[in-house]
Amino acid sequence: MPRYNPATIEPKWQQYWDQHQTFKTPDMPVGEKLYVLDMFPYPSGSGLHVGHPEGYTATDIVCRFERMRGKSVLHPMGFDAFGLPAEEHAIRTNKHPRLTTEENVATFTKQLKMLGFSYDWSRVLSTTDVEYFKWTQWIFLELFDTWFDHETGKGRPIAELPIPVEVKAEGERAVQQYQDEHRLAYQSYAPVNWCPKLGTVLANEEVIDGKSEVGGHPVIRLPLRQWMLRITAYADRLEKDLDQVNWPEGIKKLQRDWIGRSVGAEVDFYIGPAAEFSNWGCSRSKTKFPRKPDDNVLRIYTTRPDTLFGATYMVIAPEHPFVAHLTTPAQQAAVTAYCEKAASKSDRERQEDTKKKTGVFTGSTAINPVNGQPVPIWVADYVLWGYGTGAIMAVPAHDERDFEFAQTFDLPVIAVVDPGDNDEVDRREVLAGKVCSTIDGVSCNSGPYNGLMTGEFKRRITADLSGAGLGREAVNYKLRDWLFSRQRFWGEPFPILHEVDAADKPTGVIRAVSQVDLPVDLPHIEEFKPTGTPEPPLSKAPISWLYPEINGQRYVRETNTMPQWAGSCWYYLRFIDVRNGQVFIDREKEKAWMPVDLYVGGAEHAVLHLLYSRFWHKVLFDRGHVSTAEPFKSLINQGMILGEVEFTGYVRAGGAFVSAAEVTDDDEGNAIVKVSGEAVTPQKINADDVEKKGDSFVLKADPSIRIESRAFKMSKSRGNVINPDDVVKGHGADSLRLYEMFMGPLPATKPWSMAGVSGVRGFLDRAWRLIVEDRADDLVLSSTLQDVEPTEEQARTLHKTIKQVTRDIDNKDFNTAIARMMEFTNFFTKQTVRPRSVMKSFVLILSPFAPHIAEELWQLLGGKTTLAYEPWPTFDEALTKDAEIEIPVQILGKLRGKVVVPAGSDQDTILAAAQADPRIAELLTGKTIVKSIVVPGKLVNFVVK
Ligand code: ANZ
């Protein structure tokens, strides 16, 4: 019994914390605040996996540590519970998604509590709680009520949108429509990726080779009415404000690339007979750019206006509205067929570099504004309608895609940038139009602009075009507006009503549900199945829900639902004021707790979730609801945990092993012996039959045979999934927590190892035995424990450990902190007298990592209540340095003596001490010192002749 037994200790302390509400956070911080947030989980049916506790343990250590340092810590947990799997489950089992979700939430809660995380459970929320999504709907209405003022760069109430006089003159309906077109939440009829089998639209990222990423079902392109959020209006701020946050550079770069800011120029090409062009050009010089492009102008976007003289053809996207009138009768059939085919492809497929370029000539030409040359206009799907102006000038000499296209269709290539002599491309080949060069250089074949450097040319020509009314500088973003509606049941209903006429047909007029009528709850429906058509399941809701009447006017509710991203956009705000029924968050509380000081979660959310929530936050900021421009001050992405390392050996036909070093893959990926080409078969090897030799693994039975080792992503199909419940059952939650942190640096990808778990369990057993009598029948303190002052060596060990663990937690180097505590334990295991005060300090620094065992030991050492708010042990700097150390002295690599020097001595001091040592001095007499090597703290070596 007195042996360390997590199975009894852990539930005992979990119950204690629960009963005493140990981690309940006050409404307002008392003293310095710290808000530490985990990315809340999706409560899936399969329960927690070992990836969850990785980040959660890391944040829990920080929270427990900072509470002991006196900070007021907010550390909440909740559930991102809307989404497809619960609904799919409902379809299969006919069980309401709410029931499934509640069951899963209960399982997750139990599992999280079993791991001893110090969450304030009184703040728990689920995005599916009606009282939560009421406010998600309210925020949507704020977006609906906001337009983006490009002058001030801010979102403002729609009532403040200036209405042009001509619109006003058309009446109220026109004004309303004008407003609707400017809202941050608006409807669009864009072509979307529609998956009939899943019954929903999919984002571009969710479509691979024309099939849904989930399930591999066919996806078609359909124009559908969708809700969109105008995130593009915030592109600039979303990019710039990344400078304000303390995030890993890698994630900032991912976000910047996703936003994809590009600076270039828009240029107008005249479409029509060349003879009319000179007139057009002259008359335009007085026209201010931008004028509304009319049918005579094809406007393009380019990042390389310096290559205008090399434009040998133009391309418009298949969706470009000019396709019809640019296509000549002779080309009609070919163009129509081409455009129809392009319509079925997603943007991603169209841009794939590996695909051969396709296209078709329209039969028309445009006039290049810089030299009056006619340029043929093609339709090709590598140009996207949604980017820039949907039309380009093609410069095959300096753009890879254009070059490929020109090769395919035998179009001229004119070099206009001389790359000079360089390592990347052959200059002569470039100038001869034989290869494409994208590097900067000096302009040529460019008339009056010859001889300019690329950057200077860009500036000059942009200014000249602008002066002539033919172009202007333009900025574009890769970021697209956010497609915000799904044709599914299990999501937040939109708080939007569509006015209908007497025949229940929508009139096109929409209105927001008034705030007093929020939440719009999900209606009861019998059938969750997607309809197979783009009609959402909610269109089959009871009439009473579907058709509300306000002041005698009949409406139909919006039947799309919000995507799963919605709920996770703002949950960090609600945690601060989780039960407020009046507002989504109290202003004072928001000011007191925001921003989130540390946010930890998976790298899979590095782009979309973080971008979406930053966007919502900025809108709330502009509308005066929150006080900070950015929500998450610092961020860490935990690394992925892979399955146990697997070993593979290679066997010849006769059954003999071949060393992995001699094996390679043939063209088809089959294993063969490098020298002979003989086929060999990979065979899984048991970990017990393998041992480590240097950096590689070999067969125990024959160490000359090298074995391959590899860790794979955990997956059901590989059978390498580790269930945290099993680990807790076998070794306890404290061991699981410790192991997850001991595996390696938090952001690193790491393979699981059960042997590693046993290893940290061994450490906890030893830590226990430092304090508890091992073989007694009762829990009694070890007889080595005494109320004495520590010896100097003991004090130094303690103070060094405190210093290092403190610093390591501050730096989030949890693995090294654990290693320090292991060293401490090893040292004190050998001590026959252990001062009680030292053991108490040790228990305190162990507690953030392994809180259950620490609480138990604390109690045994006389603690009356939880140690959660005990002051963090301090250290004496002087004691953290070794007073004196012994340094071995070598002559020609042979140990000849030892000198004692003050710890931390520099090279010169150590060298002087070594030379002054009588024995060494004697051995050096008569010799010439060729070189003296000093490794401070470690050794001195004299190379002599
Ligand atoms: C002429 C040119 C010459 C271009 C050259 C590049 C190199 P970013 O913004 O960096 O991605 N482009 C413009 N609109 C496009 C669209 N809708 N679909 C596909 N391609 C489009 O790149 C902008 C460049 O991508 C533009 O500059 C244009 O090609 C092409 F030596 O214009 B460039």
Per-residue confidence (pLDDT) for residue 406, from 0 to 100: 97
Distance between alpha carbon 660 and the CA centroid of its chain, in Å?
A: 36
CA of 390, closest atom in ligand 1: 17
Measure 769 CA to ligand 1 centroid, in angstroms.
69
Which are the contacts of 448, defined by CB distance < 8 A and separation ≥ 6?
A: none
Assess if residue 523 is contained within a domain. Answer: no
Q: Are 511 and 158 in contact (CB under 8 A)?
A: no
Measure 397 CA to ligand 1 centroid, in angstroms.
13
CATH code for the domain of 887: 3.10.20.590
Instruction: Give the integer Cα–Cα distance in Å for 548 and 633.
Output: 44
Is 395's C-beta closer than 6 angstroms to any atom of ligand 1?
A: yes
How far is CA 485 from each of CA 58, 188, 679, rounded to the nearest angstrom?
Answer: 35, 11, 54
- What type of residue sits at position 861? L
CA of 305, closest atom in ligand 1: 1
Measure 388 CA to ligand 1 centroid, in angstroms.
8
Is 399's C-beta closer than 6 angstroms to any atom of ligand 1?
A: yes
For 209, phi then psi, to 5°, come to 50, 45
Measure 299 CA to ligand 1 centroid, in angstroms.
13
Domain boundary among 854, 872, 890: 872
Assess if residue 530 is contained within a domain. Answer: no
Measure 266 CA to ligand 1 centroid, in angstroms.
11
Is 380's C-beta closer than 6 angstroms to any atom of ligand 1?
A: no
Which are the contacts of 422, defined by CB distance < 8 A and separation ≥ 6?
A: 439
Is 741's C-beta closer than 6 angstroms to any atom of ligand 1?
A: no
In angstroms and rounded to an integer, the radius of gyration of the C-alpha atoms of the chain is 35
Is 479's C-beta closer than 6 angstroms to any atom of ligand 1?
A: no
Instruction: Give the integer Cα–Cα distance in Å for 874 and 890.
Output: 39
Residue nearest to atom 7 of ligand 1 (CA): 399
Which residues share a beta bridge with 31?
Answer: none
Distance between alpha carbon 230 and the CA centroid of its chain, in Å?
A: 21
Angle between helices 724-731 and 6-19 (to 10 degrees): 110
Is 302's C-beta closer than 6 angstroms to any atom of ligand 1?
A: yes
CA of 388, closest atom in ligand 1: 14
Mutate to test the pocket of ligand 1, among 256, 266, 299, 302 (most ligand atoms within 8 A of CB): 302
Statement to judge: residues 472 and 573 lie in one domain: no
Measure 379 CA to ligand 1 centroid, in angstroms.
15
Measure 362 CA to ligand 1 centroid, in angstroms.
20
Statement to judge: residues 458 and 359 lie in one domain: yes
How far is CA 761 from each of CA 394, 625, 739, 770, 874, rounded to the nearest angstrom?
Answer: 65, 48, 8, 14, 27
DSSP string, 81-147: --SHHHHHHHHHH---HHHHHHHHHHHHHHHHHHTT----GGG-EETT-HHHHHHHHHHHHHHHTEE
Residue nearest to atom 27 of ligand 1 (CA): 302
Per-residue confidence (pLDDT) for residue 282, from 0 to 100: 44
How far is CA 147 from each of CA 230, 553, 570, 697, rounded to the nearest angstrom?
Answer: 9, 27, 20, 62
Statement to judge: residues 695 and 830 lie in one domain: no
Q: What is the mean pLDDT of each run of 10 residues along the chain (945 residues)?
A: 86 98 97 97 91 96 98 98 86 89 96 98 98 98 98 98 97 96 93 82 75 85 89 97 96 95 94 63 49 74 97 96 94 96 77 79 94 95 91 97 96 97 94 96 96 97 92 93 90 97 94 96 84 84 95 95 95 98 97 98 90 98 98 96 93 91 88 91 91 90 92 87 94 98 96 95 97 84 95 95 97 97 97 97 98 98 97 94 84 91 84 89 88 90 92
Which are the contacts of 372, defined by CB distance < 8 A and separation ≥ 6?
A: 274, 277, 278, 281
State how beta strands 750-751 and 641-642 pair: parallel
Assess if residue 454 is contained within a domain. Answer: yes
Is 565's C-beta closer than 6 angstroms to any atom of ligand 1?
A: no
Mutate to test the pocket of ligand 1, among 392, 413, 435, 443 (most ligand atoms within 8 A of CB): 392
- What's the total number of domains in the chain? 5
Which are the contacts of 655, defined by CB distance < 8 A and separation ≥ 6?
A: none
Is 392's C-beta closer than 6 angstroms to any atom of ligand 1?
A: yes
Is 129's C-beta closer than 6 angstroms to any atom of ligand 1?
A: no
Is 390's C-beta closer than 6 angstroms to any atom of ligand 1?
A: yes
**Cβ-count burial 433-468 (b if 16+ within 10 Å, e if not):** bebbbeebbbbbbbeebeebebeebbebbbebbbeb
CATH code for the domain of 116: 3.40.50.620
Per-residue confidence (pLDDT) for residue 1, from 0 to 100: 46
Query: In terms of Cα–Cα distance, which of 687, 720, 883, 785 is closest to 49?
Result: 720
CB neighbourhood size of 347 (10 A): 17
Measure 406 CA to ligand 1 centroid, in angstroms.
15
Measure 393 CA to ligand 1 centroid, in angstroms.
8
CA of 385, closest atom in ligand 1: 17
Per-residue confidence (pLDDT) for residue 717, from 0 to 100: 82
Q: Is 910 exposed, middle or buried (0-12, 13-18, 19+ CB in 10 A)?
A: buried
Statement to judge: residues 306 and 446 lie in one domain: yes
CATH code for the domain of 266: 3.90.740.10
CA of 397, closest atom in ligand 1: 31
CA of 438, closest atom in ligand 1: 31
Three-state secondary structure call for residue 403: helix
Statement to judge: residues 844 and 887 lie in one domain: no
Residue nearest to atom 31 of ligand 1 (CA): 398
Measure 849 CA to ligand 1 centroid, in angstroms.
53
Is 388's C-beta closer than 6 angstroms to any atom of ligand 1?
A: yes
Three-state secondary structure call for residue 305: helix
Statement to judge: residues 361 and 279 lie in one domain: yes
Per-residue confidence (pLDDT) for residue 424, from 0 to 100: 92
- What type of residue sits at position 277? F
Per-residue confidence (pLDDT) for residue 191, from 0 to 100: 74
Q: Are 146 and 183 in contact (CB under 8 A)?
A: yes
**Using CA atoms in the order 252, 256, 257, 263, what is the torsion angle rounded to 10 degrees?**
-150
CB neighbourhood size of 94 (10 A): 10
How far is CA 499 from each of CA 159, 367, 556, rounded to the nearest angstrom?
Answer: 21, 48, 6
Instruction: Give the integer Cα–Cα distance in Å for 589 and 27.
Output: 7
Which are the contacts of 629, defined by CB distance < 8 A and separation ≥ 6?
A: 237, 241, 244, 617, 618, 621
Q: Which residue in the block uniquely carries the two structure tokens 């680990």?
A: 727
Instruction: Give the integer Cα–Cα distance in Å for 522 and 541.
Output: 9
Instruction: Give the integer Cα–Cα distance in Å for 572 and 589.
Output: 13
- What type of residue sits at position 211? K
CA of 382, closest atom in ligand 1: 19
Statement to judge: residues 440 and 329 lie in one domain: yes
Q: Is the peptide bond before 534 cis (omega within 30 degrees of 0)?
A: no
Which residues share a beta bridge with 898?
Answer: 888
Measure 310 CA to ligand 1 centroid, in angstroms.
14
Assess if residue 148 is contained within a domain. Answer: no
DSSP string, 732-795: -HHHHHHHHHHTS-TTS-EE--HHHHHHHHHHHHHHHHHHB-SS-SS--B-TTEESSPPPHHHH
Is 381's C-beta closer than 6 angstroms to any atom of ligand 1?
A: no
Residue nearest to atom 21 of ligand 1 (CA): 383
Is 454's C-beta closer than 6 angstroms to any atom of ligand 1?
A: no
Six-digit token pair at 716? 């059901």
**Using CA atoms in the order 829, 835, 836, 838, what is the torsion angle rounded to 10 degrees?**
-80
Domain boundary among 417, 448, 476: 476
Is 307's C-beta closer than 6 angstroms to any atom of ligand 1?
A: yes
Six-digit token pair at 607? 């782009």
The DSSP letter of residue 646 is: E
Question: E-assigned strands of 404-505?
Answer: 417-418, 442-443, 471-477, 482-483, 496-500
Instruction: Give the integer Cα–Cα distance in Å for 388 and 619.
Output: 25
Statement to judge: residues 888 and 850 lie in one domain: no
Q: Is the peptide bond before 97 cis (omega within 30 degrees of 0)?
A: no
State how beta strands 632-638 and 146-149 pair: unpaired
pTM: 0.86
Per-residue confidence (pLDDT) for residue 212, from 0 to 100: 85
Is 709's C-beta closer than 6 angstroms to any atom of ligand 1?
A: no
Measure 664 CA to ligand 1 centroid, in angstroms.
42
For 925, phi then psi, to 5°, come to -60, 135
Six-digit token pair at 899? 């000198």
Instruction: Give the integer Cα–Cα distance in Å for 63 and 61.
Output: 5
Could you list the residue range(s) of the whole structural domain that residue 935 is in?
Answer: 882-944
Residue nearest to atom 19 of ligand 1 (CA): 383
Statement to judge: residues 294 and 365 lie in one domain: yes
Six-digit token pair at 872? 């963090």
Assess if residue 685 is contained within a domain. Answer: yes
Assess if residue 737 is contained within a domain. Answer: yes
CA of 398, closest atom in ligand 1: 31
Assess if residue 710 is contained within a domain. Answer: no
Mutate to test the pocket of ligand 1, among 269, 299, 304, 379 (most ligand atoms within 8 A of CB): 304
State how beta strands 496-500 and 596-602 pair: unpaired
Statement to judge: residues 311 and 401 lie in one domain: yes
Query: In terms of Cα–Cα distance, which of 300, 307, 302, 318 is closest to 366?
Result: 300
Mutate to test the pocket of ligand 1, among 299, 399, 436, 454 (most ligand atoms within 8 A of CB): 399
Mutate to test the pocket of ligand 1, among 259, 301, 416, 444 (most ligand atoms within 8 A of CB): 301
Query: In terms of Cα–Cα distance, which of 247, 157, 942 is closest to 636?
Result: 247
Instruction: Give the integer Cα–Cα distance in Å for 807 and 863.
Output: 26
Instruction: Give the integer Cα–Cα distance in Å for 258 and 644.
Output: 34
Measure 303 CA to ligand 1 centroid, in angstroms.
6
Domain boundary among 637, 672, 694: 637
Six-digit token pair at 69? 């340092």
Is 393's C-beta closer than 6 angstroms to any atom of ligand 1?
A: yes
Query: In terms of Cα–Cα distance, which of 315, 359, 363, 317 is closest to 338?
Result: 359
Q: Are 77 and 121 in contact (CB under 8 A)?
A: yes
- What type of residue sits at position 643? G
Per-residue confidence (pLDDT) for residue 293, from 0 to 100: 52
Statement to judge: residues 331 and 400 lie in one domain: yes
Assess if residue 800 is contained within a domain. Answer: yes
Question: E-assigned strands of 177-283?
Answer: 185-188, 191-195, 200-202, 207-208, 211-212, 220-223, 226-229, 261-271
Residue nearest to atom 11 of ligand 1 (CA): 262
Taking only the tens place, the pLDDT of each residue in 507-529 is 999 999 999 999 999 998 887 77
Is 303's C-beta closer than 6 angstroms to any atom of ligand 1?
A: yes
Mutate to test the pocket of ligand 1, among 387, 393, 445 (most ligand atoms within 8 A of CB): 387
Statement to judge: residues 792 and 659 lie in one domain: no
Per-residue confidence (pLDDT) for residue 274, from 0 to 100: 60
851 sits in the region (left: phi over 0; alpha: psi -120 to 50; else beta) called alpha
